[in-house]
A and B are shown apart, each in its own frame.
Chain A
Amino acid sequence: MPTPIIQLIGVTKKFGSFIANQAIDLAVQPSEIHAIVGENGAGKSTLMKTLAGLHLPEEGRILLRGEEVLLGNPEIAMRHGIGMVHQHFSLIESLTVTENVVLSNPPQRGGVFRKRHAEQLVRELGDRYGLTVDPRRRIADCRVGVQQRTEILKALYRNPDVLILDEPTAVLTPQEARSLMENLRTLRDNGKTIIFITHKLQEVMAIADRVTVMRAGRIVLETEISKTSPNALAVAMVGHEIHAERKEHRPDLGNKLLELDHVTCSADGVGGSSLHDVSMTLRAGEVLGVAGVEGNGQSELVEIVTGLRLPNSGTVRLKGVDVTKASSPAAMRSLGVAHIPENRISTGLATTAPLMDNLIMGVHRSAPVARGIWIDQDAARDHARKLVQEFDVRPGDIRADAGSLSGGNMQKAIVARELTGDPEIIVAAHPTRGVDIGAAEFIYEQLLRRRDKAAVLLVSSDLDEVLRLSDRIVVMYRGSVMAEVLPQGLTSETLGLLMAGIKPAGGVAAPGAGGVA
């Protein structure tokens, strides 16, 4: 076997008393695509950040091409040829693709930025690796897929030997994800070594050469792709079998809980989109899936239903009552609307506040947590502990800041809080984005359990999720309802086409005049 390009020996990283990585031994061969999979909080990102020079391990050695190195900061790692594309983009929205890519070392002559030359460099770089971008476009005007290509180009601009990608497909449509996979293959064939973190096992099976499975800070499996199966990987990840089958469900439809009638709203500011004449009805007992590529009006739809935004025209009725004018988050919540927001850090939590404070939001208004003008500390603690236990939020220290939790555990905490008190309408926006299989299964189970008493509006760009949970699916495209379809017999390919604004030949099963039942 050739010398591994990267070799970790006994690497241990602790955060306080929490051991994020324990005695990790890992070898990555040159020019391979190496996938790292594992649940949230398994230590994947920590390990990769260690490689990228963002964390210094307490113990262990890192060997690059057989020589020991000390990766004290990202700049050193980059000089050693390690580049990383992070899960959350670090692009400057007001600058162009080119300006972002060359930011670390802009081409200049006599102190003057050579813009044309830089654009040419970026175009050539993109062509070489099949990452097509418009070098002059501003980031704010680019689709997410293009932004990600820009991130990758930014890393490639430093000409690294090793490229690390942290959950690169989390925000992409199926089509974009497929093209990214192609790009990664091209990169490997050009001699780059790729390490990527993911939750999605199909991706691993499709393009990785080797895979490492992590669980609870340790490596539990490392193998060649040809010698494993998605099922074996899933079992290694969560430690037990999981069943990802859609359970057939005949909704027992109740009252109309939510009605949108010809709702229109205009776009605000940069990156917002508008809604045109959107009508839909949500009944008790069903899950209505809203599918669509991000930025086609789903966020605005969610904001209108949850009172965060007022429509320009049209009416919103909740349980038959017109709430169009009286809409506010407080009003909608008092009418029984729960909201799992699309962005857990900016909206869903106060990350600098203790977990307990995050969990009692909402229940702090009524007994037993509220006691007159006071918050009953014992009741609040009990409530928070109960949620932590029921929803298996780890680590479950309710005094720790919510921001110290991993992404999946933050999401579980939000779901726990929002499902408290049996809401009648549950608006779930991307409820399992960036969440591991185990936690996602758990969240699905919780949502489906609520379905009998409540209505669920599920907004997601994860097609498998939409297909699996929904009783009915609405596809949004450019702010309008593109189609309303039934999940039975619908493939993710057909759904993907509808999301791209293309009506497939032959049509799809649509709910008849008699509705779904």
Chain B
Amino acid sequence: MPLIATVAGLLITSLLLLSIEVNPLNVYAALLRGALGSLFGVSSTLRWATPLILAGLAVSIGFKAGLFNAGLSGQIYVGGFVGSLIGFSITLPWGLHPVAAILGGGVAGALWAFIPAILRRYLGASEIVTSLMLWYVAIGVADFLVRQFFRDPTSAAFLMSVKVMPSAVLPSIFPVGNVSVMLFASIGASLLLSYLSARSRLGYEVRMTGANPRFAHYSGVPTGQRLVLAFCISGFLGGLIGASESIGINQRFVSQFDPGFGFDGFLVALLANGSLAGCIPAGLFLGVLKAGGAEVERALGLSKSIIWILQGSIILFVSAHRLRFLLSRLASQLRRARWKSSPSR
């Protein structure tokens, strides 16, 4: 299904490009060249794919339990703040320091997600609304703390914290660009969680809670606990994104550092179509679009928004559940028409 949607999205975008007299093949060629045609392109693709995979995973875990983590951006933000805080305020041996910062960011994200989770469990409050609202709280609190206590005095224009200790910096594993070991962590997390979801008893209970909470409850599954667990894992993954952006890319906390991973996570999750391991290819694909967009802009003088149109139309088709139904209906009608026109009847 995601494949059909991708093709349909490419077609729609092509029509649009043709209408402004641009050869779509040139655009797609530039896109691929930009994303995969050079070492820098590849590293750029992987740099973007890392947080995208994690974000898709975070959203998908929520889906598994029947939850909608609309506030992933908030958990990312909190993770970014706490990750950098651990990075610049304490000293730890090299090698241990980034790990502590990343895990600290993850835990912070999990705790931020814990609030809507327990509100949902005990008060029945929609996690969509509460987690989304907590995003604004996260921005307010983190920015306030940075402005008051940790601001880099040399930067007047932008709100950012002091730099993290050199021991805390997540190094790039590529000669160019900003790819960190978090790439492997995100792939590993996808595979691990995919396996746990499919094979562990806990994963099974979370899936059943998501598939039909009444059924799970009636069967004796502690559904409340399972919901909280799934939501906290989702928040933990969000925290990892924030922390690795802070100590890997920016090497400090930068206000509004998140370019929208929280929402991109939904795109990845939709493309992955409910599969946790599927977040890896889906994240890589969106990474290609993000990385190649710059080249489209540079080589063809087109606005980057063409990439957003492509993304948007693919997602549109992925979420169009009725598409498959309509296609099969069309097929059966065609069959019928052929049958009716056959002279033997």
Contact = CB atoms under 8 A, between A and B. Distances in A.
B335 interface: yes
Contacts of B222: 330
A364 interface: yes
A330 B220 contact: yes
A330 B339 CA distance: 56
Interface residues of A, number: 34
Given A56-B333, A58-B335, A353 B214 contact: no
Given A357-B208, A374-B201, A339 B215 contact: no
Given A329-B219, A350-B215, A374 B200 contact: yes
A352 interface: yes
Contacts of A70: 336
A370 B333 CA distance: 48
Contacts of A56: 329, 332-333, 336
A375 B204 contact: yes
A226 interface: no
Interface string A313-353: 00000000000000011101110000101000011111111
Contact of A346 (B202, B214, B220, B333): B214
A349 B335 contact: no
Residue of A360, A365, A374 ringed by the most chain B CB atoms within 10 A: A374
Interface size class of B (residues with CB under 8 A): 20 to 34
A352 B211 contact: yes
B217 interface: yes
Contact of A375 (B201, B211, B220, B332): B201
B218 interface: yes
Interface string B294-338: 000000000000000000000000000000000001001101100
Contacts of A58: 332, 335-336
Contacts of A59: 339
Nearest to B203: A375
B212 interface: yes
Main secondary structure of the interface of B (DSSP, over half): helix
Interface in B208-248: 208, 211-212, 214-222
A329 B218 contact: yes
A357 B198 CA distance: 10
Contact of A347 (B202, B211, B214, B335): B214
B199 A377 contact: yes
Nearest to B213: A350
B207 interface: yes
Contacts of A329: 217-220
Given A329-B217, A348-B215, A361 B208 contact: yes
Interface string B16-53: 00000000000000000000000000000000000000
Nearest to B222: A330
Contacts of B329: 56
A370 B201 contact: yes
Interface string A37-77: 00000000000000000001011000000000010100000
A308 interface: yes
B211 A353 contact: yes
A361 B215 CA distance: 10
A416 to B, nearest CB: 14
Nearest to B209: A350
B208 A308 contact: no
A347 B215 CA distance: 5
Nearest to B339: A59
B200 A357 contact: no
B207 A357 contact: yes
B201 A365 contact: yes
Contacts of B216: 350
Nearest to A333: B220
Given A329-B218, A346-B214, A373 B332 contact: no
A362 interface: yes
B211 A373 contact: no
A308 B207 CA distance: 21
A353 B208 contact: yes
B225 to A, nearest CB: 11
B5 to A, nearest CB: 20
A374 B199 contact: yes
A481 B216 CA distance: 31
A357 B197 CA distance: 12
A339 B222 CA distance: 17
Nearest to B199: A374
Nearest to B337: A70
A341 B208 CA distance: 17
A329 B329 CA distance: 43
Nearest to A307: B220
B157 to A, nearest CB: 51
Residue of B199, B202, B216, B218 ringed by the most chain A CB atoms within 10 A: B218
Nearest to B217: A329
Contacts of A341: 218
B276 to A, nearest CB: 16
A70 B218 CA distance: 45
A19 to B, nearest CB: 15
12 contacts: A56-B329, A56-B332, A72-B333, A306-B218, A333-B220, A347-B218, A348-B215, A349-B215, A350-B211, A365-B201, A373-B201, A377-B199
Given A330-B220, A375-B199, 5 more contacts: A56-B336, A329-B217, A332-B220, A373-B201, A373-B202
8 closest Cβ pairs, A-B complex:
A350-B211, A330-B220, A350-B212, A353-B211, A333-B220, A329-B220, A361-B219, A350-B215
Interface of A: 56, 58-59, 70, 72, 306, 308, 328-330, 332-334, 339, 341, 346-353, 357, 360-362, 364-365, 370, 373-375, 377
